[in-house]
């Protein structure tokens, strides 16, 4: 019988009446066993003084060596792999309780073994192993421990390997195979050097990207290797330096990293287990790594640090022994509280559903007697690669980086299967939770935009995403470069809130962020826009480009533009008949402000607040019923996020390249230019001061009742087509289509006293001649100035007239008529209601 540090008392070990010692069994003088020569009857054979670790929950198995008729490896059941640990030379004594003649409940003796004897045996064996140099493989004489005088000298718990183990170790030593691989039933896959001096790797988990999480290069006698060769092991690691080996220099230098570059990925979400990136100095949210292979509830083990594996090495960091004990107790108390709270929350029917779901896996781990595995608490995500590619831009909205981490990730075990004579690890059963919250108010940039991840929650079970939710906020303190005020804000902030969802199709997980509803953004300083209603929004990450440090997020907006009715010239046409009053804006400020600060401002009376709420609600109802607006889609706000040396540089820009207008669902004011002229809206125009080439070319300034200023450097507007029919055979019967451009300059700083607009006219032709239209190669219809007039005095309705002055037909340098002045006036139907496709004109000639 091979006695190991793990051997528990079973029912078969009960002492019966036949086992009692009789007079005939008295030990004679010749039979006396000395301290150096403790033996049993079964051990009167040649034995090797080498200790083999065979923990109950960590029995090692290796792939079968059987071959089929083709001499190929078979996948027969695994065989035992006995691993030599250390020599235990004569003179080393280990606590062993004599169970002969005892009575009582076996559970009590098992508890004594687990809590008293096993820890003491582990401690003593570890002390020996740290300095022992006994050869672990080879012939019998070669691996006798130091100080032994015969092959029969051994300690009761450090007896030699079985004949099978001798054969295996000898075969390993003579084999050309460089490593020996074995696995536990729980999926810890160990690969040893051929002489067992080094545990090359110990696989702890395999993630969904088929990457290993493992310990590496554990030398014989090291604390880490000793820990994982212990029976009924429970290991807590809070000191990241304990996962490294240092030299004896001053200061010490790292010579080996045993847990380096380990990252655990679950369905595209990556968690950084590298000790260099552990959270430290945060108090209750420092990173902790736990391994449990002990048949007791974790919550009970935590309370008894005597059951912890070498806490003075892996937890305590202080040089002073008393301080180190205090550190261990503080970690113990923190972990006990953490798991007790999780168990209580999971069992509390009054707790929020999300909180119960978050706590349930921790409660199972904390309370289950038979759960075994690995769990890491408070784990960071690696910068730039922690989120799935579809969500990479979310990282740009994490304002509170210090609190962006997974509350826990872990493994329930890893299936190990024999394949072609090798042991192969399959995907582990992984679980985890990331629950991030941020209630701060981010600062906006020069364009008035900001992006914030308000919350992000993802939960994993059995290596699958079982829950995902997120809320992101797009701050729009400006729209079209003018200050905004969200009338129906619930937070007092000018934000669009988008909710995140996930779907899985054919094994492919997709994420989406969207909003549908009503967001009424007033533009109090604008002389052009009354309000902009955002009715839909999406958020996405652009595909990666050549610059790996750049992440691009894209917000796409749908909504309605409500332009003010400029009484002297209603060129922008689309919007309600009335503007937002100052009273409504004041009421909105008061109501939305009260959501944040009313409890701190006792001067705001309830009656005043109720009156303001009523006024605001009345206006919101009017806006909801308004049918006069310009409906748009796919206006993009682009977020460029540059990652450099651990920092993020975020800039925003407007991208109107894909904006479109749904004219079938839009409606202009009855007396507006669009309603009275045969105009066709063709495209949106954005004058970006950073891009001078964004200015349209070839436009002649049109004088309007609003003025005749030049085209601004910054602005927004629309390009319309104006079909005037055909000029006849001289022009090849081509349609005479002119472009009418209407631009407004935003009131960016609120200093404008009135609307600033530009109206331009461009004739068709080649060469960009703004003052002429080619009829044939040598003929050109030319003019000098253009003016848009508004006649609102007619009882039949407002009329718009486009006056073209000094029209002439030119043949090289000759003009016809040679003298006098010709003017053409083009007008729409002032009585038009449902259609604006009619146009009329007349010409007048004044002889000079």
**Exposed (0-12), middle (13-18) or buried (19+): which is 172, by Cβ within 10 Å?**
buried
CB-based contact 767:683 (threshold 8 Å): no
Q: Is 147 left (phi over 0), alpha (psi -120 to 50) or beta?
A: left
Backbone angles phi, psi at 334, to 5 degrees: -65, -45
CA dihedral 566, 571, 573, 574 (to 10 degrees): -90
Q: What DSSP state is assigned to residue 249?
A: S
Choose the most confident range, by mean pLDDT, from 681-685, 736-740, 775-779. 681-685
CB-based contact 788:704 (threshold 8 Å): yes
Least confident residue range of 373-377, 579-583, 833-837: 833-837
**Tokens standing for residue 583:** 């009273």
Q: What DSSP state is assigned to residue 618?
A: H
Backbone angles phi, psi at 343, to 5 degrees: -65, -45
- What are the tens digits of pLDDT across the range 492-516? 899 999 999 999 888 889 999 999 8
- Taking CA atoms, 99 is separated from 11, 96, 158, in Å, by 12, 9, 19
| Extended strands (E) in 622-710 | 630-644, 647-655, 660-661, 679-687, 700-703
CA–CA separation, 540 vs 229, rounded Å?
A: 49
Q: What DSSP state is assigned to residue 174?
A: H
User: Could you write out the DSSP letters of every residue in 745-783?
Assistant: ---SSS--SS--EEEEEE-S-SS--TTEEESSSSEEEE-
User: Could you write out the DSSP letters of every residue in 415-449?
Assistant: -EEEETTEEEE----EEEEEEEE----PPP-TTSE
Confidence of residue 571 (pLDDT cuts 50, 70, 90): very high
- Torsion sign across C-alpha atoms 142, 146, 149, 150: negative
CA–CA separation, 473 vs 499, rounded Å?
A: 9
Q: Distance between alpha carbon 138 and the CA centroid of its chain, in Å?
A: 53
Confidence of residue 349 (pLDDT cuts 50, 70, 90): very high
CB-based contact 515:498 (threshold 8 Å): yes
- What are the tens digits of pLDDT across the range 754-769? 889 999 988 775 444 5
Whether residue 26 has pLDDT greater than 50: no
Q: Can you tell me the mean pLDDT for 288-296?
A: 93
CA–CA separation, 276 vs 270, rounded Å?
A: 16
775-805 exposure pattern, b = at least 16 Cβ within 10 A, e = fewer: beeeebbbbeebbbebeeeeeebbbbbbbbe
The length of the chain in residues reads 848
Q: Can you tell me the mean pLDDT for 62-82?
A: 64
Count CB-CB contacts under 10 A for residue 408. Answer: 25
Say what the pLDDT of residue 398 is: 94
- Taking CA atoms, 587 is separated from 360, 546, 584, 752, in Å, by 46, 50, 5, 24
- Name the residue among 417, 420, 418 with its Cα closest to residue 68: 420
CA–CA separation, 48 vs 88, rounded Å?
A: 10
Confidence of residue 48 (pLDDT cuts 50, 70, 90): very low
Say what the pLDDT of residue 587 is: 81
- Name the residue among 643, 673, 435 with its Cα closest to residue 551: 643
Percent share of the chain, pLDDT over 70: 78
pTM (predicted TM-score): 0.78
Whether residue 151 has pLDDT greater than 60: no
């Amino acid at each position: 019988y091979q006695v190991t540090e793990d051997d528990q008392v079973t029912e078969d070990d009960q002492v019966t009446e036949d086992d009692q010692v009789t007079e005939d069994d008295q030990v004679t003088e010749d039979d006396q066993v000395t301290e150096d020569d403790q033996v049993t009857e079964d051990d009167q054979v040649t034995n090797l003084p080498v200790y083999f670790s065979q923990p109950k929950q960590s029995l090692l198995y290796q792939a079968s060596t059987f071959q089929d008729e083709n001499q190929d490896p078979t996948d027969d059941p695994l065989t035992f792999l006995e691993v030599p640990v250390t020599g235990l030379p004569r003179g080393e004594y280990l606590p062993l309780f004599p169970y002969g003649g005892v009575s009582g409940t076996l559970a009590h003796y098992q508890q004594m073994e687990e809590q008293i004897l096993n820890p003491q045996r582990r401690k003593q064996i570890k002390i020996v192993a740290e300095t022992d140099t006994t050869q672990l493989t080879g012939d019998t004489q070669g691996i006798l421990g130091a100080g032994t005088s015969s092959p029969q000298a051994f300690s009761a718990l450090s007896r030699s390997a079985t004949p099978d183990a001798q054969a295996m170790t000898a075969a390993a030593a003579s084999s050309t195979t460089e490593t020996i691989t074995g696995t536990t039933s729980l999926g810890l896959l160990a690969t040893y050097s051929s002489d067992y001096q080094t545990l090359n790797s110990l696989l702890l988990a395999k993630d969904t990207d088929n990457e290993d999480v493992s310990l590496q290069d554990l030398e014989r006698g090291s604390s880490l290797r000793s820990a994982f060769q212990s029976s009924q092991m429970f290991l807590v690691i809070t000191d990241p330096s304990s996962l490294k080996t240092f030299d004896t220099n001053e200061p010490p230098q790292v010579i080996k990293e045993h847990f380096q570059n380990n990252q655990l990925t679950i369905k595209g979400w990556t968690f950084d287990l590298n000790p260099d990136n552990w959270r430290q100095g945060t108090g209750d949210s420092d990173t902790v790594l736990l391994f449990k292979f002990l048949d007791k509830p974790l919550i009970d083990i935590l309370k008894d640090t005597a059951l912890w594996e070498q806490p003075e090495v892996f937890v305590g960091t202080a040089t002073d022994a008393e301080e180190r004990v205090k550190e261990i107790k503080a970690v113990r108390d923190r972990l006990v509280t953490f798991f007790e709270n999780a168990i209580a929350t999971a069992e509390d029917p009054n707790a929020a559903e999300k909180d119960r779901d978050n706590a349930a896996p921790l409660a199972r781990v904390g309370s289950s007697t038979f759960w075994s595995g690995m769990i890491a608490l408070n784990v960071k995500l690696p910068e730039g690669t922690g989120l799935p590619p579809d969500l990479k831009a979310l990282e740009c909205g994490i304002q509170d980086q210090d609190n962006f981490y997974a509350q826990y990730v872990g493994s329930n075990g890893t299936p190990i299967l024999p394949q072609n004579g090798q042991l192969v690890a399959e995907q582990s059963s992984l679980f985890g939770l990331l629950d991030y919250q941020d209630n701060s108010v981010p600062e906006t940039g020069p364009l008035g935009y900001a992006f914030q991840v308000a919350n992000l929650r993802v939960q994993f079970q059995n290596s699958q995403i079982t829950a995902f939710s997120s809320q992101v906020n797009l701050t729009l303190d400006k729209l079209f470069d003018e200050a905004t005020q969200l009338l129906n804000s619930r937070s007092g902030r000018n934000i669009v809130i988008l909710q995140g969802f996930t779907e899985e199709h054919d094994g492919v997980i997709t994420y989406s962020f969207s909003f549908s509803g009503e967001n009424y953004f007033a533009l109090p300083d604008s002389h052009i826009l009354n309000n902009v209603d955002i009715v839909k929004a999406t958020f996405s990450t652009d595909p990666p480009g050549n610059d790996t440090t750049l992440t691009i997020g894209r917000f796409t907006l749908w909504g309605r533009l409500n332009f003010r009715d400029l009484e002297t010239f209603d060129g922008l046409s689309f919007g309600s008949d009335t503007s937002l009053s100052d009273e409504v804006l004041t009421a909105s400020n008061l109501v939305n402000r009260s959501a944040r600060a009313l409890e701190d401002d006792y001067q705001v009376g309830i009656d005043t607040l109720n009156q303001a709420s009523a006024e605001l609600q009345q206006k919101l109802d009017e806006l909801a019923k308004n049918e006069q607006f310009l409906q748009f889609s796919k206006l993009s706000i682009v977020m460029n996020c540059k990652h450099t040396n651990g920092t993020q540089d975020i800039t925003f820009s407007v991208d109107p390249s894909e904006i479109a207008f749904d004219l079938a669902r839009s409606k202009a004011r009855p007396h507006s230019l669009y309603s009275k002229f045969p105009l066709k809206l063709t495209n949106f125009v954005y004058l970006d001061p950073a891009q001078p080439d964004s200015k349209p070319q070839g436009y002649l300034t049109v004088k309007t009742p609003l003025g005749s200023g030049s085209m601004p450097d910054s602005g927004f507007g629309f390009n319309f087509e104006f079909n005037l029919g055909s000029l006849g055979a001289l022009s090849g019967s081509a349609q005479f289509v002119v472009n009418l451009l209407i631009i407004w300059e935003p009131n960016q700083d609120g200093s404008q006293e009135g609307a600033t607009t530009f109206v331009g006219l461009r004739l068709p032709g080649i060469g960009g001649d703004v003052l002429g239209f080619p009829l044939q190669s040598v003929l050109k219809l030319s003019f000098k100035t253009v003016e848009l007039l508004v006649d609102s005095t007619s009882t039949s309705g407002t009329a718009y007239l486009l006056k073209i002055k000094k029209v002439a037909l030119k043949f090289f340098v000759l003009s016809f008529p040679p003298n006098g002045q010709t003017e053409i006036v083009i007008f729409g139907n002032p009585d038009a209601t449902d259609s604006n496709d009619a146009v009329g004109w007349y010409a007048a000639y004044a002889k000079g």
